[in-house]
Amino acid sequence: MAAPPSPQYARRFNPRRFAVMLLLYALLVVFAVVAVGPFLWLLSTSLKSGQDILSYPPKLLPNPLSFESYVDVWRAQNMPRFLLNTTLITFWGVLANLALSATAGYALARIRFPGRDIVFFLIVSTLVLPNTLNIVVNFITLVELNLVNTFTGVVLPNAITVFNVFLLRQAFLTIPRELEDAARMDGANEFVLWWRVMLPLVKPALLTVTILEFVAMWNLYQWPLIVLNDTDKFPLSVAIARLTVGELSLDFGNIAAATVISMIPVILIFLVLQRYFIEGLAGSVKG
């Protein structure tokens, strides 16, 4: 018969440890409520009827479920058009950032030229400057190029960002020099080396840039509001903001429904690509 385990290996109840863990989990619950609570309340409001939204005391859950706000905002507020505008702006913005940031990041990481580190330092140093400094200069440039009130005028100033260049440059630095030398010995030129060797090796960083830029372009508000004059060209963010002023400002159901619709693509793309997100950021830190 086997001997019972020694008492020194038995796990003892530690009141202090239990209290610390209980406090930790309580704080996590509080943080979760603070983070998720507003979204759940927004979703609940979008599924309530107009009468339930204004009822007192307020109802936490919609009963019964009502989709009238979604139907109304989809039909009456020209939501399909605004979604199409946002999709076009986001698609070209993400594509331009991937192409330009990957090119600049590769050049700053793998191509040796005089003053390379100084150029990189000057580029990164612009991160401390507020974006508002560029508004007047960018707008004057668009006026000269006759790009005001166009999607190109919205995308062009956002076609490349310093952080994306930094992220991809750090990712390219993690690639061993031996792979580059082997590709050159096989006759690969600079473009083939960049396209067929380097880019596949920094896929997590590219997908991280995709997530970050998708969120940034999808939620772009200030610049489209300045550049675009035609209401039919407004992105979703500007259209939702227009619901909060004037006679529509009290239509809480439509505002909530439009906001939920705008959040769905961002949530979906993050869920699909989230496993690459941390890996891409970690790779940039290692670089």
Residues 159 and 262 grouped into a single domain: yes
Q: Does residue 1 carry a pLDDT above 90?
A: no
Residue 29 lies in a domain: yes
pLDDT at 238: 93
Residue 6 lies in a domain: no
Query: For the chain, how many structural domains are there in total?
Result: 2
- In angstroms, the CA 156 to CA 142 distance is 9
The pTM assigned to this predicted structure is 0.83
Q: How confident is the model at residue 9 (pLDDT cuts 50, 70, 90)?
A: very low
Q: What is the mean pLDDT of residues 166-185?
A: 91
Residues 101 and 188 grouped into a single domain: yes
Residues 60 and 101 grouped into a single domain: no
Q: Does residue 222 carry a pLDDT above 60?
A: yes
Residues 251 and 182 grouped into a single domain: yes
Q: What is the mean pLDDT of residues 138-142?
A: 94
CATH of the domain at 163: 1.10.3720.10
Residue 2 lies in a domain: no
- Name which of 197, 200, 212, 209 is nearest 98 in CA terms: 209
Residue 1 lies in a domain: no
Residue 72 lies in a domain: no
Q: How confident is the model at residue 273 (pLDDT cuts 50, 70, 90)?
A: confident
For the chain, what percent of residues have pLDDT higher than 90? 51
Do the Cβ atoms of 175 and 201 come closer than 8 Å?
Answer: yes
Residues 171 and 264 grouped into a single domain: yes
Q: Which amino acid is at 197?
A: V
Residue 85 lies in a domain: yes
Residues 30 and 161 grouped into a single domain: no
- Distance (Å) of CA 95 to CA 28, 202, 211, 213, 285: 38, 16, 12, 9, 24
Q: Given CA atoms 165, 167, 170, 175 in this order, what sign does their dihedral have? A: negative
122-135 pLDDT, tens digit per residue, is: 999 998 888 888 89
Enumerate the H helices of 145-251 as residue ranges: 151-155, 162-173, 177-185, 190-192, 199-201, 203-218, 222-227, 236-242
Residues 129 and 220 grouped into a single domain: yes
Residue 138 lies in a domain: yes
Q: How confident is the model at residue 285 (pLDDT cuts 50, 70, 90)?
A: low
pLDDT at 249: 63
Residues 45 and 103 grouped into a single domain: no
Residues 50 and 125 grouped into a single domain: no
Least confident of 48-62, 71-85, 121-135, 144-158: 48-62
Q: Does residue 4 carry a pLDDT above 60?
A: no
pLDDT at 53: 81
Residues 48 and 149 grouped into a single domain: no
Q: What Rg do the C-alpha atoms of the chain give, in angstroms?
A: 26
Q: Does residue 214 carry a pLDDT above 80?
A: yes
Q: Which domain holds residue 20?
A: 13-66
Residues 149 and 231 grouped into a single domain: yes
